Every structure is written in C-alpha cells, then in structure tokens.
Structure 1
C-alpha cells in the first residue's frame, strides 16, 4: 500500500510484474497486485466472430491513437465503481507525456464511443482498461489494438484479470510463474505502439485470417 507513487516507480513495478489499483475513486491509497492467475490475450489467438467481422468490414467507426488519451481514461473511470483514483489519473497523464502510456480511440462521427489505454515497456503492453458507449465499440477497440500490437513488434498483451468478455475474444489465464517468464522475454524486445500506420477494417481481417 502507498499514498505516493512516482511514474518511475510505477514503471519499475510493471517491470516486476505487479500493478497498482485503488479500492475506489475516493480512496487515496494504492495497492500493488500480483495475482496467481494473470489474464492475457495471446496476440496470435484473438477471436473475431462473424458479427464482429461484419462491423469491422463496414468500418462503422473511425479509429485513432493517442488523440484523446485523457478522455479515454475518463471514459474508463466513468462507472459506478472504479479503481482509477486521482493519483492514477496524474500518473497516467505523466506516463502519456513521457511516451509510455497510449490510447486507442473509437469514434462515431465526432463522438468518442469507446477506447482502450495501457502502458508499454519493451514488447509488453499492459492493458489498463477499456470502455464502450456504443454496441461493439469495445470489441472493435480490442481488434484494432491487437492488430497494432502485432505489427509494432509486441509479444505480450497483459489484461491483468480475465473477464468473460475478454475470454470470449480469446483471452486466457496463465499462472503467475508463466506470466513472469513471458514478461522477462517481452522486456528484452523493442516495440513502438505509435509506429504502425492506420489500418482499414479489410486489412485487419486479412491479417487475422492469415494467422488463425
């Protein structure tokens, strides 16, 4: 437990396989977690259903990266209960400014309807949270994020915990020891979340089909 955490200490924690959360929006304290079972999305096993493929193919939404980072974090925290407190907002802002925190946004016209944000170190992407204000927006965000991570050279997509929603898209749980081994390998890699150019829905589906 800690009341104060610097961006440098936060990154050091991620490099050791632990991550901080608050018990509530109002709680000023942060707690470190290192669960026995860790949620990940294997980057070569992301499942796109026929219905999601139709949505992606139609390109109903517009996708961007790092254009509305703070708004994505706010969208993720905009729920009855959240583990994102004021300290984490400040830390994420600082890491974004330093190039370690990134967001992928889903737009419907000028409205931000979904998104995901996370922290990057080496070839590891630590997915913090995602949100959706439109049907399929979070699934589309995950599909485009997985595609970007694969093209950018990442090998680990950490989701911290596994939810039924993530499991339906190919997410799995792995033992803590396995996760730490994968993390150690990922930290030896070089990857750049911002490097890949934007993808079309058709190109994403083609790449997914080639590796499924």
Structure 2
C-alpha cells in the first residue's frame, strides 16, 4: 500500500523519488485535468483498477521513445499507407469511445480500463488543445487509433488500439512522423496500453525523466495544434 494518500481538495504530489520499489508514489485524489497535467509535468502517471482508488506511479526506469534517434522507415510507412487511411482526428471523442470498446471488457476488468471519469478529463484536455489523437481507417471502417497529451516537447502516450493487424503500428508511425516534424523530444510509452509490437523502446532513469518533464513544463506550452 502507498504511504501517501492524496486529498481531493489539494492538487499536489509527493516527489516522484518517494516511490516504492514498484514505482507507486501515492493513491487517491481525483482525475481532474489540473491534477493530470501536474502529474505529467512531475514525471508521474495514473493507473488503477476500476472502482478502486486511483494510483499514481513513477517507475524506475521509465519506458520512452526518443524521437531524435528513432529510425523512421519511410518504406514501411508508405507500405502501410497503401493499406490504411491515417491522420489527426477531428473527432477525439470517437477515438476515446473506441478505446473503451476495445479495452473495457466486462469479463476482463483490469488496469487497462478507460473509465468514464478519465474519459471526461481527457475530453476537457482536448478542448483545451492539449489532448490529441490519430485515427486509422480501412475501407471506410474505423480500425485503430492512438491518443495522448502533448505538453511542450513531450507527448505523453495514453492508449493505442487496433482492430486490424498493423493499424496501431501505422497510427504510431504517423504520430512519430508528425512529432518529429515539430521537433518533439520523446513519447512516454510506459503504460501497457501504449505497448505496440515491433518498436524498439528506450529507458530513462527516474531522475533523468523527472528532470526532463519539469524543465519541459517550465520552458514550453503545448503546440500540437500547429501540426
């Protein structure tokens, strides 16, 4: 059990380095947008079992994808582009609802669930210009997507899903392409729902990752709408 219980009345976190060996920093609080933004900027993310206390994590090391060193395969991207239609979505809610259909299985309730309270917060972040999604289509059918939150030069990945083989791959490749064009530094890939086969991911120490998040928050504002 965590040593820190967060209050719903105050939006704060203990330092990430207070995490236990599994990376658990605290529990409780809520999922309002302001708290989520503070968590991102503190190197912390939420992950919890539905109907239980929200839990806040900062594992060591942290799984990320460094964009400057990522070997982007134009040939692979163009090959997949022939099979799918992919782009930034104008219907963010559709991507979230499909994520819920994909992950929220009643007989498999687990940490991957996208709860309604999280849904509402991500919708608010999208309305503020911070949360964004890529959607993938094939033959007029919506078959995959990915979404997360963009702050400064970091994209904090939340969920990716695929209802056809390789749909999540081209979604991530498209996202990487767009982020590289705008000189983003990295994608946080820590969550299980962002793990996509075929991608070589990197690791950062907690100390390094938290320092990067804090410096990023101080220097930049979200700029994903320019893509």
Contact 2:134 2:171 in 1 (8 A): yes
TM-score between both structures, scaled by the size of structure 1? 0.80
Q: CA deviation at 1:163?
A: 8.5
Distance between the aligned counterparts of 2:194 and 2:42, measured in 1? 26
Is 1:2 aligned to residue 25 of structure 2?
no
Aligned partner of 1:133 in structure 2 is 163
Q: Which runs of 5+ in 1 are unaligned?
A: 197-212
Aligned to 2:23: none
**How far did residue 31 of structure 1 move?**
1.2
Which residue of the other structure, out of 83, 93, 100, is the alignment partner of 1:70? 93
How many Å separate the matches in 2 of 1:119 and 1:67?
A: 15
Cα separation, partners in 2 of 1:93 and 1:122, compared to 1, 3 Å: same
Report matched runs for 1:78-93 at 5 Å: 78-79=102-103, 80=108, 81=110, 82-93=112-123
Residue aligning to 1:17: 43
Q: What do residues 129-179 of structure 1 show as CA deviations (whole Å, max 9, x unaligned)?
A: 100011111110111000111112311211124799547312122211121
Q: Give aligned pairs, total.
A: 193
- The corresponding residue for 1:55 is 79
- Give yes or no for contact 2:89–2:133 (8 Å, CA) kept in 1: yes
Is 1:45 the equivalent of 2:75?
Answer: no
Contact 2:66–2:186, Cα closer than 8 Å, also in 1: yes
Residue equivalent to 1:200:
none
Change (3 A) 1:47 1:23: farther
The answer to whether the 8 A contact 1:39-1:162 is kept is no
Map Cα deviations across residues 38-95 of structure 1 (whole Å, 9 max, x no partner): 1111113334569834623x53211121323122223333224423212101111111
Which residue does the alignment assign to 1:35? 59
Note the 1:106-185 alignment, pairs <5 A.
Answer: 106-161=136-191, 166=196, 168-185=198-215
> How far apart are the structure 1 equivalents of 2:118 and 2:204?
26
Structure 2 unaligned regions, length at least 5: 1-26
Instruction: Give RMSD over aligned pairs.
Output: 2.5
Alpha-carbon separation, structure 2, partners of 1:23 and 1:7 = 19
What is the deviation of 1:184?
A: 3.0
Tell me by how many angstroms 1:30 deviates: 1.6
- Of 182-191 and 158-167, more deviation after overlay is shown by 158-167
